[in-house]
Structure 1
Amino acid sequence: MSFSQATLIEGHKPISPASGIPAWDIDPYDVEILKDPNAYYAELRALGEVVYIPRYSILTVGRFETTRKVFSDHENFLSSRGVGLNDFKLEDPWRPPSIILEVDQPDHTRTRKVMSRALSPKVAKGFADLFHETADALVDRLLGQGSIEAVADLAEAFPTTVFPKAVGMKDVNPRYLVDYGAMVFNAVGPDNQLRRDAMSHAGEIVPWINAACARDRLTKDGLGALVYASADDGTLSEDEAGMLVRSFLSAGVDTTVTGIGNALWCLSQNPDQWDALKRDPSLIRATFEEVLRYTSPVHTFGRTAGQATEIAGFPVEEGTKVTCVLGAANMDPDKWGDPEKFRIDRKPVGHIAFGAGIHGCVGQNIARAELEAVLGALIKKVDRIEPAGDAVWRPSNAIRALDKLPINLIPN
């Protein structure tokens, strides 16, 4: 496809990149790239610190230091104008913007404090028994089957069981919870078939999510009640509290499903690392961090230049959309040395799979607690995790997730 044939995305202004920024005639949202992105990541890094993609009239970064700097620079690169390709200053989003993810200072501080209290390490520790008991029971049941499809049987089954209980939801529909996350994350990309397919369910899922997160449909002892308490003390309005509770579901289910599935894939593909983990279960946390670095569950998020600024010395116009390819940054050999190797002894401090700066993932304590419970149950009960067929990756405009993962769980 030539540049002259490119169809620029509606919803943000076209840009004229600064001299010296290489142009790359590629569609980063092509299904084949999304299924197997490592070659795209490598070429993006090889082209330079910042690359212009004419098809969408965006700048893109993928080298670690530059990506981390742009992603964490909340003063110059805004989230309030959308973390996808559409600029909310120019076009209304499909839903009200998230008041924690798609907001800037000073409003971000107010809502971040509420979510940080609700999702603190102390609160996450309080769910330990629920997480571990559920993981033990689920793994016991799956061991009776031997061969499982790990995405549906484990990666989706565990979060959609424990997370609604943690939130305090009285109404639970596992399929809607997973599909809602797919809607939210595919919506940050272009209006391609992936986005259209995901959004086709909005008419039934969104009203259900809104109703299930209302105060009267929540218990008084879950995360949702903690958020609504901030409406009682005047920190939030009632509507804002409801939006924050819904953000639990948009960001707290799909990414955890992805993290569990990706962990199982990594360990089934690297039996020596599974053996090392069984020998030393204290490496559970390091294993999860390496899974995050190695597979980057959120592969791409965007920012908008809120004023004339620069990236790596190149001038950037106000209103420029910049996509930060976290997956490419987390595979940068200049940062990691041997990024193509999955090593649980790496302790990859500084990876940006959970974001960076003030917009770092507020729910990471819960996500880590869930993953540690699942891996802990597997370590106790499973001798080997063996591939039982080819893994199938699920293309998404923002998430690097598996669609199918057939494996055999060999008991101790």
Structure 2
Amino acid sequence: MSAPSSTTTGITAPQSDIDLFSDEVLSVNDDAVFAQLRELGPVVYLPANDAYAITHYGEVRAALSDPVTFSSKAVAFNPQMNEILSGTSLAADPPEHGKLRAILTDNLSPRAMRGMKDDINASARQLVSELIQQDSFDGMADMAVAFPVSVVLDLIGVQGDLRERILPWGEAAFNLLGPLNERAQASFPVAGELFKWTHEEMQGADLAEGSIGRAIFEASERGDISPESFGYIVHQILAAGMDTTITTIGNALVLLGQHPEQFQKLREDVSLVPSALAEVLRLRTPAPVFGRRATTDVVVGGTLIPAGSQVAMCYGAANMDPQKFENPDVFDITRNAVDHIGFGYGIHSCAGQGLAKLEINGLLTAWAQQVEDYRIGAVVPRLNNFTRPYESIEITDIRRA
């Protein structure tokens, strides 16, 4: 880490002994951890992670708007994963980022997604109709996992036995975006299977005709992107297109079940579904910390971040910043927090958010229309270095509308 330049001024960051990726932190509500960091200042140095955490909404959003100063070549919190991600839009800076991103956005644009809306909504209605015939079900396995996995694998064109292997592959890949702790080390062999398939074994013929995966393969054959980028991009869609969506569906079920008055508002007016989703993403950001690298000495909120430093963009802290959101701890589906950064911000905002919104809006609409009331039973968390999923969510006492 370089010393501050003589032309850069700013106070030294306060420090905290919090480890953002420890079992202790991941197993508790992030709100308390992020609140503690926000109170220390807009920038806090974390020796346990050797990273500068940016915690306030305004500062996080401004940093995300400046990819020159805050490089995505350190999106992960370990050098091995950053090297593996080299060549993906997730870990690329301008100008390389633009071409890689275009391949994703062309296939995941609102226009491209529009044709899928009716099928996704019909599938959501069918799934909810089947689930509510039961006395209880697991909101994670039976809904939050089952629905997006089916949609995304069809979208990519994944066929056969591989469909059963994709979800654990994706979860392992997310674990590797944190530091190389025990959780990440255990994930390397599993994630390695995903990397081997997407980068060495996968062929265009493996993916269904008319799928996005097949279209990306054909783009590589035409020379629009490099052959290496084909595997990277499919890998990104598979990993990011499911895990954060799965987490958000689980969060929506839990929050609406824990706040029945909000669920009743949704039932009475399903046009509130997009606003409800925004509030879920704000209150329970599915991937609350992303990495960056400071390319130069930079002052953020009056605090100096030295050149070369690992930076932790705390989306989860920013989304709960009382300077931005009034009564941020309150779950209010009428808040319409459209300026949350649950999907990130700037050139690296989630490329798959259009698909995620279609999936989640379809499920929440079907759930509100077909269910009068329900209860949340046992909720079991699942520790992951990057996302905040549940292992299981017991849905009970379902009253059909």
Q: Report the TM range for the smaller structure's normalisation.
A: over 0.9
Residue 380 of structure 2 corresponds to residue 392 of structure 1: yes
Picking from 391, 396, 405, the partner of 2:393 is 405
Q: Which residue of 2 aligns with 1:277?
A: 266
Q: In the TM superposition, what whole-angstrom CA distance separates every residue of 1:378-399 from its partner, at most 9, and x where no partner exists? A: 1221111211x23122222211
- Higher mean displacement: 364-373 or 143-152: 143-152
CA distance in 2, matches of 1:175, 1:199: 18
Picking from 380, 391, 402, the partner of 2:369 is 380
Matching of residues 5-404 of structure 1 within 5 Å = 13=1, 19-35=11-27, 36-80=29-73, 82-87=74-79, 93=82, 95-171=84-160, 173-210=162-199, 213-387=202-376, 389-404=377-392
Which residue identity lines up with residue 38 of structure 2 in the other structure? R
Coordinate RMSD, CA, aligned: 2.1
Q: Relative to 1, partners in 2 of residues 1:334 and 1:49: Cα closer, same or farther, differing over 3 Å?
A: same
Contact map agreement 1:15 1:58 (CA 8 A) in 2: no
Q: In the TM superposition, what whole-angstrom CA distance separates every residue of 1:70-126 from its partner, at most 9, and x where no partner exists? A: 22310101002x212224xxx574634351100000010111112111001111111
Q: Relative to 1, partners in 2 of residues 1:138 and 1:66: Cα closer, same or farther, differing over 3 Å?
A: same
Which residue identity lines up with residue 325 of structure 1 in the other structure? C
SS at match of 2:313: strand
Q: In the TM superposition, what whole-angstrom CA distance separates every residue of 1:352-403 from its partner, at most 9, and x where no partner exists? A: 111111001011000000011111221221111211x231222222112222
- Higher mean displacement: 221-230 or 195-204: 195-204
**Cα offset, 1:14, TM superposition:** 8.5
TM-score, normalized by length of structure 1? 0.90
Q: In the TM superposition, what whole-angstrom CA distance separates every residue of 1:329-354 from its partner, at most 9, and x where no partner exists? A: 10111111111111110000211111
Q: Relative to 1, partners in 2 of residues 1:174 and 1:405: Cα closer, same or farther, differing over 3 Å?
A: farther
Q: Which residue of 2 aligns with 1:10?
A: none
Contact map agreement 2:11 2:304 (CA 8 A) in 1: no
Q: In the TM superposition, what whole-angstrom CA distance separates every residue of 1:209-244 from its partner, at most 9, and x where no partner exists? A: 557853111122111133234224432123212321
CA distance in 2, matches of 1:127, 1:213: 25
SS at match of 2:299: strand
Q: Relative to 1, partners in 2 of residues 1:95 and 1:236: Cα closer, same or farther, differing over 3 Å?
A: same
SS at match of 1:131: helix
SS at match of 2:361: helix
CA distance in 1, matches of 2:311, 2:193: 32
**Cα offset, 1:270, TM superposition:** 0.8
Contact map agreement 1:171 1:212 (CA 8 A) in 2: no
Unaligned ranges ≥5, structure 1: 1-12
How many residues of Structure 1 are paired with residues of Structure 2 in the alignment? 395
- Higher mean displacement: 104-113 or 222-231: 222-231
TM-score, normalized by length of structure 2? 0.92
Which residue identity lines up with residue 106 of structure 2 in the other structure? R
Q: In the TM superposition, what whole-angstrom CA distance separates every residue of 1:267-287 from its partner, at most 9, and x where no partner exists? A: 111111111111111111111
Which residue identity lines up with residue 57 of structure 1 in the other structure? D
Q: Relative to 1, partners in 2 of residues 1:204 and 1:370: Cα closer, same or farther, differing over 3 Å?
A: same
SS at match of 1:367: helix
What is the percentage of aligned positions where both structures have the same residue? Answer: 33
Unaligned ranges ≥5, structure 2: none
SS at match of 2:331: coil
- Higher mean displacement: 242-251 or 222-231: 222-231
**Cα offset, 1:203, TM superposition:** 4.6
Q: Relative to 1, partners in 2 of residues 1:336 and 1:75: Cα closer, same or farther, differing over 3 Å?
A: same
CA distance in 2, matches of 1:212, 1:292: 36
Which residue identity lines up with residue 60 of structure 2 in the other structure? T
Which residue identity lines up with residue 178 of structure 1 in the other structure? L
- Higher mean displacement: 369-378 or 99-108: 369-378
CA distance in 2, matches of 1:175, 1:95: 24
Q: Which residue of 2 aligns with 1:5?
A: none
Contact map agreement 1:146 1:410 (CA 8 A) in 2: no
